[in-house]
A and B are shown apart, each in its own frame.
Chain A
Amino acid sequence: MSLVRVTSAQRPPDAAAHIGGRLALWGGYALVLALAPLWLTSSLSQSLLSQMGIAIIVCLSYNLLLGQGGLVSFGHAVYSGAGAFLAIHTLNRVTGGWALPVSLIPLVGGLGSAALALLLGWVTTRRAGTPFAMITFGIGELVWAAALVLPDFFGGEGGVSGNRVTGSAPFGVTFGPPIQLYYLIALYTLVCTALMYALTRTPLGRLLNAVRDNPQRVAMVGYNPQQVRYRVFVMAAFFAGVGGGLSALHFELVSAEVFSAHRSGLYLLFTFIGGSTFFFGPILGAVLMVLALSLLPGLTPAWLLYLGVIFVAMVMRAPGGLAALGVALWQRAGQTAWWRQWPQRLALLTSALLAISPLWVWVEMTFRLQLADELPPTLSLLGLTLDAHSPTSWLGSGLVGGFGAGLWWVSRRWLAQKERP
């Protein structure tokens, strides 16, 4: 959870100096996990919090591959999904009489996924780069297809449902109330985050970075790069499986959709947007993923388009994701000179938003024309009502954009003037 780059050196003297700061970060993380549901009390927001915890585990596990290992996987949902199915079946066995505490069921999911990765990963991790990506994609499709044609285990279209209020209830904890399950998820999130962070500071974790940077050299310092990838792949699958197991407990329903390529793609997308070069980046990404998937569809019909645009823009201009942007901003904000130019910077930001606003407005109006049956043709924006059928709205927003572009050009010169010593 520290801002330390995944790749930076960690040596005892530095480590000792940072212990206080690190404890504060971890304490803060634990505190946020513990207190969030006291602040967000509605059942919807608590459900979102639970989903965020699960997403954090899965995105962090995905980043063991993406950020730490330089491995782009298109099939991570295979392992989170396998964990979910194993967990829901285990849950039903517990209902049938097995003496396993419900709180340990996510571990069953994790171990099952790890076992699956032990098998599939042997093939997958023999190669890195494009072959790795291709093979994960192929296996993802394969498992998804298999899930659809094996309804006995995977439940077909309807999926497999379960009831988490079962088995013994130690200390009266039944996991019936969502808040009880939230705290189980929060605990798993905290422990899994800590374990995955710890991994980055071990010989295997550092060798994983080395394999990412230069597998050829790794082979010349006594390590088998395939073995490094394979072991971490199995670990990533374990954590993904734990996340999947928790989601099975949360939703009490698992369908073949959990294996979909779309879901694997979302893990990739949001881990990247959060920031794969920093350990904590995927945590941001996971929170955003849950927010985006639950809130954006209600706000705009074009949400997937925007997500795609943001992703492409970040790949091109901010490959370090939001985490890197945030850290860069934080470092710059520490400079007083940077603050002295705040009017210029504010003008630059506002005019840039104004300049791109017509693109957004046009997308919205186009969607309103296309989905005329489902959406009203009007769009309210800052007290203005735009009509998709009115040329004035199209032209007007374009003019606003042009005006914004002009302002942007002026404020850029203004800033350049101020930056000159």
Chain B
Amino acid sequence: MTRAFDTPAGLVLGAPQLDIKAMHKRFEQTDIIRNLSLSVWPGERVAIIGPNGAGKSTLFDLISGRLAPSSGQVWLGGQRIDGQKPFQINRLGLSRSFQISQLFATLSVFDNLRCAMLWQLGLGYAFWKFLASQRDANARTQALMQRLQLDNVSDTPAQHLSYAQQRALELGMALACDPAVLLLDEPTAGMSQSETRHFMALIDELTQGKTLLIVEHDMSVVFGLADKIAVMVQGELLAFDRVDAVRADPRVQQAYLGAVLPASPADQHAWA
């Protein structure tokens, strides 16, 4: 597999696809994200790992616009997106999935996926066009449904799907608008080992060429997929490097054993 940051092409672009600069998030008296900086280059696949409560999902909420950072900036392909609304950020080419599936419960699988791509196909708030006559949208939906192996439940309301099918649909909803940057929040949470393996292969296949951030609880799940790993502990970036380097990092190993090293500002700089 070609890795974007290995090729000169990635360098030619000259700018990260997603750039988080000194982001800070405070809820009341608690700092959830502490002065976090992270640059992701086009085509890179970054896994964000860390223990529960490290702020991984909050980080996604901040990037995707569900939450606004207390300070700092987020840039998406040269545009500043912090403070923008989720739908505005999505229109700029960033999409995300949720840790707890966010589906249109009573709509069919087909309608779920189609709704997720209508905006990108330029249909907007149209009330003068019939969905049935949107050949492009319907064909794309059908194709995506097949790739997700959901075509046999096309007409089933999302709420009646099995858990694994709901997770596949959740992934499909994030992919449907063909985003440049994709954030996946624990896509395999709650799956069995064999389901996880199968599903990670599906993610690998479907996200080729996309800039990907994937939150994972379990480091071993993402080794095969990620180019880089970012380790978050207590709202801070403990390490951000290639997979091998992060694996070998004694501080990461220690953090994962439960003993978090008090990272000095100098250390942060070294790792960021």
Does B associate with A? Answer: yes
Distance of A345 Cα from B210 Cα, bound (Å): 61
Total interface residues on A, CB under 8 Å, equals 34
Q: Assuming A201-B131, A221-B173, A231-B125, is B119 touching A213 (CB within 8 A)?
A: no
In B65-84, the 8 Å CB interface with A consists of 66
- Is A130 part of the binding interface, using a Cβ–Cβ cutoff of 8 Å? no
Q: How far is the CA of A187 from the CA of B117 in the complex (A)?
A: 37
A221 touches B90 (CB 8 A): yes
In the complex, the answer to whether A203 meets B173 with C-beta atoms within 8 Å is no
Q: Which of A204, A213, A224 has the most CB of B within 10 A?
A: A213
Chain B residues within 8 Å of A250, by CB: none
Q: Check: B10 CB closer than 8 A to any chain A CB.
A: no
Q: In the complex the two chains form, is B127's CB within 8 Å of A206's CB?
A: no
Q: Does B228 sit at the interface, judged by CB under 8 A?
A: no
| Contact call A219/B85, Cβ cutoff below 8 A | yes
Chain B residues near A231 (CB, 8 Å)?
Answer: 125, 127
Q: Does any Cβ of B come within 8 Å of A220's Cβ? A: yes
Q: Which of the segments A8-16, A87-95, A282-290, A404-412 contacts the partner chain?
A: A8-16
CB within 8 A of A11: which of B96, B120, B138?
B138
Binary contact readout A186-206 vs B (1 if CB under 8 angstroms, 0 otherwise): 000000000000110111111
Determine whether A21 belongs to the interface, using a CB cutoff of 8 Å to chain B: no
Interface SS of A by simple majority: helix
Binds A, one of B1-9, B108-116, B186-194: B108-116
Contact B127 A235 (CB under 8 A): yes
- Interface hits, B116-167 → A, CB 8 Å: 116-120, 123-135, 138, 154-155, 157
Total residue contacts A-B, CB cutoff 8 A? 127
| Interface contact B90-A204, CB-CB below 8 Å | no
CB–CB B155/A8 < 8 A: yes
B132/A222 in contact, CB under 8 A: no
B102 at interface (Cβ–Cβ under 8 A)? yes
User: Do A213 and B132 form a contact, CB below 8 Å, given A202-B127, A207-B115, A220-B90?
Assistant: no
Answer whether residue B103 sits at the interface, using C-beta atoms and an 8 A cutoff.
Answer: yes
Closest to A202 in B: B127
- Kindly state the interface size class of chain B when it binds its partner: 35 or more
Contact between chains at A219 and B127 (CB < 8 Å): no
Min CB gap A402→B, angstroms: 42
Q: 1/0 per position for A1-31, CB-CB distance to B under 8 A?
A: 0000001111110010000000000000000
How far, in angstroms, from A218 to B157 measured CA to CA in the complex? Answer: 17
Return chain B residues, CB-CB under 8 Å to A8: 108, 155
User: From residue 234 to 263 of chain A, which have CB atoms closer than 8 A to chain B?
Assistant: 235
Which A residues are in CB contact (< 8 Å) with B135? 12
Cβ-based interface call for A80 (8 A): no
Residues of chain B with a CB closer than 8 A to A207's CB: 115, 118, 125
Contact B177 A222, beta carbon cutoff 8 Å: yes
**A217, B107: Cβ atoms closer than 8 Å:** no
With CB as the reference atom, state the residue of chain B lying closest to A231: B125
In angstroms, Cα B135 to Cα A212, docked, is 25
Q: How far is the CA of A10 from the CA of B125 in the complex (A)?
A: 18
A-B contacts, 8 listed (Cβ < 8 Å):
A7-B111, A203-B125, A207-B118, A210-B111, A210-B115, A212-B106, A221-B173, A223-B125
Q: A interface vs B, CB < 8 Å?
A: 7-12, 15, 198-199, 201-207, 209-210, 212-214, 216-224, 227-228, 231, 235
Interface residues of B (CB under 8 A from A): 64, 66, 85-87, 90-91, 95-96, 98, 102-111, 114-120, 123-135, 138, 154-155, 157, 173-174, 176-177
